[in-house]
Amino acid sequence: MGNPSTPPDLRSDASSGSLVGSARGDALFKWLLIAAACTIPALLLALLYELSSGAWPALSKFGLEFIVSGTWDPVAGIFGAWPAIFGTLLTSLLALAMAVPLSLGVAIYLTEFAPVAIRRPVATVIELLAAIPSVVYGLWGIFVLIPFLTTSIFPWLEANLGFLPIFRGPIYGPSVLAASLILTVMIVPFIMSVSREVLLAVPSGQREAALALGATRWEAVSTAIVPYAKSGIIGAVILGLGRALGETMAVTMLIGNRHEVAASLFAPGYSMAAVIANEFADAAGGPIHESALIYMALLLFAVTVVVNAAARLLIWRVSKGRGGR
């Protein structure tokens, strides 16, 4: 309000007839903004209502059993979402485990170590990855990634780490591991570009102070810069997780679409979004099948909300402790 650059005489000028018009304009503008702001919560509520009412038949029939049961039998009309929930969480977390170190490494390199001339171009190229449609990632996964995995990586893992149950069993190609890898590629640009922005925003005083105290580059990064940017980096990771949880097309094409919780990462699995994408168009098991799929959508919605709420909480606690961004 107290804008120092506004000359006082202009303010008094506005007390004439033109003020009425601008006040009306202001009011209109305000209500437009309020309407715009209400749209999103209203949409969210409408979505929640639609999902709940659509899911009601399955919800009342299977209850919470739906979440823990592993049977998906459209012929018998028995549905359980656990393999899909498990697959969604497993692929997303595996993708995070691979994407976070990679993207943080790139972000730190690009802000602290890389020659200035290449910083911007490299960042732009990585950000371009975010613009690729997921069906293209899926095709790339089928035609490039999977042949590569089945001929080199998977046999190597089986030969050298086959004593672990997660690297055993027949190699189909499409698998939990393949889906996790494609998710990794897909979320790296998000995590990288947001954490890069956050690192760039760290005041140079922070960096210089650490270096002045005799810290090495690595020590400056690990003790002064990354802790300062922590809440922002967590935000970036959560953004990536959100994308991984909801990603549908590429996962459907690579996960193998099998309602089963298998010990091996080579085995096919399922994700919640993939089940809905596959079966909704022709929910052949009748109304209860369709309702079970909407119930699945409701659960996916719930998982995303819980994850985002947890992220907010985490960021809030971290920033409260640090007083940083």
Partner 1 sequence: MFKMSRATRVARRLTTVLATVAVGGALACGGDGGTVALTGAGATFPYPVYSKWFDAFYTATGNQVNYQSLGSGAGVKQFTEGTVDFGATDGPMTDEEIAAVPGGVHHIPTVIGADVVTWNLPSLGKTQLRFDAASLADIFLGKIRKWNDPRLVALNPGVALPDKDLLVVHRSDGSGTTYIWTDYLSTVSPEWATKVGRGKSVNWPTGLGGKGNEGVTQQVKQVEGTIGYVELIYALANDLPYAAIKNKSGNFVSPTLESVSAAAAGVDLAADTDFRVSIVDAAGADAYPVASFTWLLIHPDFADADKAAAIKAFLTWATGPDAAAMASELHYAPLPAPVLELVKARLATLKGAGELLP
Contact 271, 179 (CB under 8 A): yes
By CB under 8 A, is residue 284 in contact with partner 1?
A: yes
Q: Binding pattern to partner 1, positions 155-194, x when CB under 8 A?
A: ---------------xxxxx--------------------
Please, which residue, 240 or 268, has the CB nearer to partner 1? 268
The residue range among 6-14, 180-188, 205-213, 284-292 that interacts with partner 1, by the rule CB under 8 A, is 284-292
- Distance from C-alpha of 173 to C-alpha of 307, rounded to nearest angstrom: 30
In sequence order, the β-bridge partners of residue 73 are 78
The residue range among 46-54, 56-64, 115-123, 201-209 that interacts with partner 1, by the rule CB under 8 A, is 46-54
Q: What's CA 267's distance to the chain center, in Å?
A: 24
What is the maximum span of the chain, computed from C-alpha positions, in angstroms?
85
By CB under 8 A, is residue 272 in contact with partner 1?
A: no
Please, which residue, 99 or 176, has the CB nearer to partner 1? 176
By CB under 8 A, is residue 109 in contact with partner 1?
A: no
Q: Of residues 50, 65, 208, 219, which one binds partner 1 by CB under 8 A?
A: 50
Q: Of residues 6, 71, 152, 216, which one binds partner 1 by CB under 8 A?
A: 71
By CB under 8 A, is residue 281 in contact with partner 1?
A: yes
- Distance from C-alpha of 282 to C-alpha of 166, rounded to nearest angstrom: 33
Q: Which helix (H) or strand (E) holds 17?
A: none
Q: Of residues 85, 96, 123, 146, which one binds partner 1 by CB under 8 A?
A: 146
Please, which residue, 9 or 282, has the CB nearer to partner 1? 282
**SS3 for 312?**
helix
| N residues, the chain | 325
The residue range among 95-103, 117-125, 196-204, 277-285 that interacts with partner 1, by the rule CB under 8 A, is 277-285
Within 195-214, the residues that bind partner 1 by CB under 8 A are none
Contact 188, 98 (CB under 8 A): no
Would you tell me how many other CB atoms lie within 10 Å of the CB of residue 16? Answer: 8
Would you tell me how many other CB atoms lie within 10 Å of the CB of residue 207? Answer: 20
Q: What are phi and psi for residue 174, nearest 5 degrees?
A: -60, 130
- Distance from C-alpha of 282 to C-alpha of 238, rounded to nearest angstrom: 33
CB of 80 to partner 1, least distance (A): 10
Contact 250, 182 (CB under 8 A): yes
The residue range among 88-96, 140-148, 197-205, 214-222 that interacts with partner 1, by the rule CB under 8 A, is 140-148
Task: State how far the alpha carbon of 312 is from the alpha carbons of 59, 134, 325, in Å.
Answer: 29, 27, 13
By CB under 8 A, is residue 9 in contact with partner 1?
A: no
Q: Of residues 58, 62, 66, 72, which one binds partner 1 by CB under 8 A?
A: 72
Where on the chain is the footprint of partner 1 (CB under 8 A)? 47, 50-51, 54, 71-76, 142, 146-147, 150, 170-174, 252-253, 256-259, 268, 276-285, 289, 293-294, 297
